[in-house]
Structure 1
Amino acid sequence: MTDPNEPAGADGAHDAPDHHEATEARDDDLLPPRGSERHHTGAPSPSDDGAATSAVGATGATGSGLDGDTDADLDDDNDNDADGEEPKKKAGCLKVGCLTLLSMALVAVLAVGGFAAYLNWKLDNNIQRSNMIPDSAGQPTRRAEAGDALNILLMGSDSRSTNLNDASRSDVIQLVHISDDRKSVQVIHFPRDLYVSIPGHGKNKINAAYAYGGEQLLILTLQNLLGIKIDHAAQIGFEGFAKLTDTVGGVDLYVSQPYSEGSFGTWDVGWHHMNGQQALGFVRERHQLKEGDIDRGRNQQAWIKAVMAKTLKAGTLLNPVKLNTIVDDLTADKNLRVDQDMPVQSLGFSLRNLRMGNVSFYTAPFTGFGSDPVAGSIDIVDEPKMKELGNAVATDDFSKYTGSANPLR
């Protein structure tokens, strides 16, 4: 991954979109039109008519006047006989139809099951797994109130290498809290310049923890800062996220601050439809934003929200071709790395009923900006609010947290 903090050079640049020509959003999520239904009426078989006529003629010739029966009575008896055979034939046809439908349903079930198995295989085969979670010794214990709530650290590295295992400063630090009932999610951005204590290294910017000791030291730093247990960790290359953006037909993002910076793009204030590379430049820009990385983190969250909204639509999840492409986008070229024990498939299934209205986004609390002789420009932690945030995460209860969610559009 190229350095997301600096504009790409000539070999990595792309033409900046004309902000006066923002394209309209396309709806790629419509289900295909259903075919028209046809209704057939069963016409009587010529052979049936013939059999009925023969029966009537034969009886009328040999049984006229027997036992006092009239011709009309005999006709009624013959009609009943003929009617008795037609339901039998109709019943046979019904059985064949039912068997056909059952066979088609079985084939469909097998196809869906086979496709699901294939996607599971692809996930297991493409995802990198490594020992990202520190040993439990000396770590915070899970609070009983949290139940089965989960805390997952989502990271992105500014390493110039495509190898996600390379140690470098972490450019993206988002803590994802999933509630015990799986009905709500809180995503918390920790600015890279947040000035915190790093175990064994004194105080420094929080992203220095990743450079000093990789994801394990970053996890320990966050656990100490919040007083929580982090259960899982994941690292994603943003080139794959850009491909995912293209797969869902691009996303609509609101630009709150205008800027123009090389390959990061040129945008006016307002809504813009962006493809993957345009959105990637948008979430990498920080130099011309008022609060630098603080604002960049909000832009990253806006992008995550927009992609999630389009991915969770039924038209996307029920489209096997598009679903297969999404898995490719996220996992191809070892683009996704998770801890050894993360249950990717079961976790995704447990969130199947999640609605975007129950996903909220926050920025870790800080009081302002400062400088340090060693670390340089820093974000100063709001200690009381940080303790409050940690308690909300630890107890799986954000109702008492007084921090405001980011007003993402």
Structure 2
Amino acid sequence: MSNFKKTIIALFILLLGIPLALFGYTWIKLNSIHVDSKYDSTIEKVDGITNILLTGIDARPGEQASRTDAMMILTIDKNNNNIKLTSLARDTYVEIPGRDKGKLNTAYFWGKEELLFKTIENEFGIGIDKFVQVDFSSLMDIIDILGGVEVEIPNNLVTQINNFALACYNNYNNPNKGEFKAITTSGKQLLNGYQALGFASIRKEDSAIKRDERQQEILVSLSDKLKNLSASELPGLMNTLLPYVKTNLNVSEILNISTTALGVLSKNSEVKQAEFPLVDYPEFTKGGIYKNAGWVWLYDLNSVVVLQDFIYKDVNIEDNIYLNDTSKVTLNY
């Protein structure tokens, strides 16, 4: 279903949830999801910074090509002891190398991971050559295995969330899903798998960017759950997740990243979140129908410095001095 687009949340679990106590078990399992990739970033790496592109797709049976419906840059920052998640809006208007201008999510359609890497590097100046990808089918099982996720339900979204949750429930092939349970109140509460996916899917009541924020909220809640996961529970999670995942990280890289990420989280539990383009700063973005690209985000070409400073220099978006001066704004028409 087209609404099941943001299962990128599961990717974070894969990278942060592999304790070394299960080294032998994980080596066999993780080796099965590796795919070869010869792409090497053209942007010089920064010591202490690890960037991985997390992508979620909603490929239909028989499709030879699909779009990335979710894209996040996972940054493990050893220099500042934090982890960052930066959502890249799928509707961002970009130049796709060797093709034409269009939405960011079409880069994968035309050239898989390599073209998506090139597009992100050329547009935003962020070096990435590693990815982890998952499709939507696993998310509900993962959330249920972890005992649900706690999120804040806005009062004006209860009906819409239930509508999407019912669709998710009807397509959930888990024999233990029980009878459908609707969300009855707003406020902070624990959601099961199909409820959480309904929460993560809606956007027409507010915006696609707000949907990204809801997905990040689920992601942070899942990471909190994962910290309390026992070693005996992890194999079940991995057996559920891994059949839906592919990555060009080898087993050693995954284990090293997991160890580094857990070390960072042990020092600072904060997961810093951001999104690009800077839709909360209307002077630097413009959303609307543009040429034959449909609805897109046009962004200030010079504002990429704000994204770069967040990822590489740990400068919070709202604290970046570039945002104090609009005289250099140049939208990417």
- TM-score normalized by the length of structure 2: 0.75
2:275 corresponds to which residue? Answer: 363
8 Å CA contact 1:148–1:180 kept in 2: the answer is yes
Give distance in 1, aligned partners of 2:147 and 2:82.
26
Q: Which of these residues, 314, 319, 327, is aligned with residue 398 of structure 1?
A: 314
Within 5 Å, which residues of 2 pair with 1:337-356? 337-341=246-250, 343-355=253-265
Partner amino acid for 1:157? I
**2:223 — aligned with what?**
308
Q: Match of 2:231? A: 320
Coordinate RMSD, CA, aligned:
2.7
- SS across alignment from 1:153: strand
Q: How does 1:244-323 map to 2 (within 5 A)?
A: 244-256=142-154, 257-258=156-157, 259-260=159-160, 262-264=163-165, 269-287=186-204, 289-291=205-207, 293-313=208-228, 316=229, 319-323=230-234
1:198 correspondence with 2:96: yes
| Distance in 2 between residues matched to 1:250 and 1:113, nearest whole Å | 25
Provide, for residues 34-69 of structure 1, a one-character-per-residue CA deviation record: whole Å limited to 9, x for no partner.
xxxxxxxxxxxxxxxxxxxxxxxxxxxxxxxxxxxx
Find the aligned partners of 1:345 and 1:191 in 2 and give their Cα distance: 29
Offset at residue 297 of structure 1 (A): 0.9
TM-score by length of 1: 0.62
Contact 1:158 1:169 in 2 (8 A): yes
Q: Distance in 2 between matches of 1:341 and 1:183?
A: 24
Alpha-carbon contact 1:196-1:203 (below 8 Å) kept: yes
Please tell me the residue identity of whatever aligns with 1:369.
G
Does residue 336 of the first structure (1) align with residue 245 of the second (2)? yes
Matched letter for residue 337 of structure 1 = K
* Structure 2 counterpart of 1:153, from 43, 50, 53: 53
Q: Which runs of 5+ in 1 are unaligned?
A: 7-111, 405-409
Aligned counterpart, 1:187:
85
Alpha-carbon displacement from aligned partner over 1:289-343 (angstroms, at most 9, x marks no partner): 312x111111111111111110012xx1xx2321211222221xx2111015471
CA 1:141–1:217: 2 relative to 1, 3 Å: same
Distance 1:114 1:252, change over 3 A: closer
Q: Distance in 2 between matches of 1:279 and 1:392?
A: 29
Paired residue type of 1:124: N
Write the distance in 2 (CA, Å) between the matches of 1:113 and 1:147: 24
1:322 & 1:190 partners in 2: Cα distance?
A: 32
Cα offset for 1:230? 0.7
Percent identity reads 25
Q: Provide the C-alpha distance between the structure 2 equivalents of 1:385 and 1:113, rounded to a whole number of angstroms.
A: 40
Structure 1 residues 298 and 357 mapped into 2: Cα distance closer, same or farther (>3 Å)? Answer: same
Matched pairs, number: 279
Q: 1:286 to 1:161 in 2, by over 3 A?
A: farther
**2:43 is the counterpart of 1:140:** yes
Displacement after TM superposition at 1:173 (Å): 0.7
* Separation in structure 1 between the aligned mates of residue 299 and residue 193 of structure 2, nearest angstrom: 33
C-alpha contact 2:58 2:136 (8 A) present in aligned 1: no
Which one-letter code corresponds to 1:147 in the other structure? D
Letter in 2 for 1:119: T
Paired residues of 1:159 and 1:168 also in contact (CA < 8 A): yes
1: distance between equivalents of 2:289 and 2:153? 29
- After superposition, residues 84-95 of structure 1 pair within 5 angstroms as none
Does the CA contact (< 8 Å) of 1:130 and 1:337 recur in 2? no
Cα contact 1:241–1:329 (8 A) shared by 2: no
C-alpha change, 1:339 and 1:154, in structure 2 (3 Å) is same
C-alpha contact (below 8 Å) 1:134/1:220 kept by paired residues: no
Distance 2:62 2:74 in 1: 24
- CA contact under 8 A between 2:160 and 2:202: conserved in structure 1? no
- The DSSP-based 3-state class of the residue aligned with 2:246 is strand
Distance 1:372 1:351 in 2: 40
Q: Which amino acid aligns with 1:154?
A: L
Alignment partners' CA distance in 2, 1:283 and 1:344: 27
Larger Rg: 1
